[in-house]
Chains A and B, each alone.
Chain A
Amino acid sequence: MSAPRRYGRWLALIRAGFLGVVFVFVVFPLVWLALASLKTRAAALEVPPALVFTPSFEAYEKIFASGLVGAFANSLTIALTNVALSLAIGLPAAYALARMRGAVQQNLSFWVLSIRLAPLFSIILPLYVLFKALGLLDTRIAVAMAHLTLTLPLAVWLLMTYFRAMPVDLDEAAMLDGAKRWQTLLLVIVPISRPMIASVAVIVFIFSWNEFLLAFFLTARDAQTVPVVVAGLAGTMSFDWPLIAAISIGSMVPALIFVGFAQRHIVEGLASGAVK
């Protein structure tokens, strides 16, 4: 029993050191961004940066004064719509795939996964043509639908592997009681999979929230999202770094609330079988 202990001390040391490095690497840019958002334009570009200064909330006031709040509303609507679509379409599909066997199942699940491989830059023009034909350019629903290319395969794949790990007895018991398949899914499977569904929802939300390229091309004035607005601000004649920093910090808030709300579920849900 002495061997583990001997290694244990060294391991603890390595772990602590590693954690320290990771922590600095992750946190430093965040702190720097937060500080920049509280500075004036010239002060934000100083080298070395001042650590002690009088904070200015000018940048944050600008967000509220200038209607940028609308972009937050757009981002939120798009991400939530996308989550709803991904789950509504992905849950039954994942369940069906999980309960299938053989070549069809394999080919179909590989097809779903490989869908994500289409390089984004090359489907921009076709998607633009498509949504133009549907009359949906510059609408939030168009962006939410376009984001399905990224999120639906992800959701289906994660849910499918999770459902596969669930004992079939549950389904069979429900069916014996006379439940239809959709009833089994909604009343038996979904309730006990809540942590997993929550974690998939969070991941889908984040992907949609962060996405830039599709959101940029499919929106004009009415449906711009936060990343699109941030990119637009960089092109103004007065490079307003504090404003960009403030919006960036602001853009974390809704996502953080959503993630914080489901933080525990993410790991638990994924851990309960999805990625085994």
Chain B
Amino acid sequence: MALSWRFWFLAPMVMALATVVLFPTVYLFWMSTQHWLVTDPQRFFVGTDNFQRLLAGADFWQALRVTAAYLVLSTVIMLGLGLGMALTFARAGRGWMRAIVVMPLVIPPVVAGFTWRFLLNGEIGFLGAWLLPAIGLELNPLAEPRAALVSVVIADVWSRTPFMFLILLAALQSIPRDFYEAARMDGANPFHEFFFITLPLLKGALFVAILFRIVDAINTFELIYVMTRGGPGRATQILSIFGWRTAFQELDFGQAAALGVVLLFICLAGAMLLFRRFVQRDLEAGA
């Protein structure tokens, strides 16, 4: 029997992803078991050594804490802002305004990083050196550890909220009007409407938005790198910057790969959890 059409439809995707993702991932697992220091001509199998050293070191946990803080802070703000914007724009058209608020989407994060670095710079930046002191805030937004984390979150929110906004806006607009009209007949106020109609119907969109946000946050690199280089000290050194430093500055490819593997599992676990909660039931319901 000829292979099902489904096979031919899926094969290119599976092949493409296998090439650009599966191969690197397998390679990554292999690397993580190697003693591989660029400074050392010998490369050999060390089992779980890299993992043990990684988990025993303070750097990993520090970077994990920073990543968690950064992830939670930026995601919460982005969700709030994105949802607020989506609600505001859902009814009225406001075409030109909508076009303007999504503009940061087309600015590469590396540029967004430079822009905010210069705005927030404590000596020559418009915000950091002029506006903040003018309103009585005497702190350096890029060099004071906590402020630096807030600064990179602000830049990230600026750069990435539009994507979340678009997904949520689209979902909002696909909710039939009748739902609201029916609720209003029953005397519901706008808050009831939001909590009992809007929010439940946004579940799927929220899953997609949050998942892509997490992936994005974990992979944030150039934005933070150009703003603070992960500093001051290690205050904004999220896992991706820590991994970069381990691999390309400290030249410890084995340990960097171990970090990659650990990170992959953390993300998988998170995604599985979200998937179960938000999506699986819907997929089953569709069956």
Query: Hey, which bits of chain A sit against chain B, CB under 8 A?
Result: 3-4, 7-8, 11, 15, 18-19, 22-23, 25-27, 29-30, 32-33, 36, 45-49, 85, 88-90, 92-93, 95-97, 99-102, 105-106, 108-110, 112-127, 129-130, 145-146, 148-149, 152-154, 156-158, 161, 164, 180-182, 185, 203, 206, 209-213, 226-227, 230-231, 234, 241, 244, 248, 251-252, 255-256, 259-260, 263, 266-267, 269-276
Contacts and interface: CB of A to CB of B under 8 A. Distances in A.
A248 B107 contact: yes
Contact of B257 (A45, A122, A203): A122
Interface in B259-286: 259-261, 263-264, 267-268, 271-272, 275, 280, 283, 286
B111 interface: yes
Interface string B232-273: 000000011001100100000100110111011001100110
Given A102-B287, A230-B111, A248-B107, 5 more contacts: A4-B184, A106-B280, A117-B218, A122-B260, A252-B107
B166 interface: yes
Given A3-B189, A266-B166, A209 B106 contact: yes
Interface string B47-63: 00000000000000000
A227 B110 contact: yes
A115 B174 contact: no
Nearest to B27: A126
Contact of A252 (B103, B191, B275, B286): B103
A263 B272 CA distance: 33
A23 B101 contact: yes
Contact of A130 (B23, B31, B174): B23
B9 A93 contact: yes
Contact of A259 (B6, B105, B118): B105
Given A96-B5, A113-B271, A271-B174, A230 B260 contact: no
Nearest to B239: A119
B13 A256 contact: no
Given A227-B110, A270-B167, A118 B25 contact: yes
B106 A122 contact: no
B225 to A, nearest CB: 9
B174 to A, nearest CB: 4
B12 A92 contact: yes
B111 A227 contact: yes
Contact of B170 (A100, A145, A267): A267
A274 B14 CA distance: 22
B222 A122 contact: no
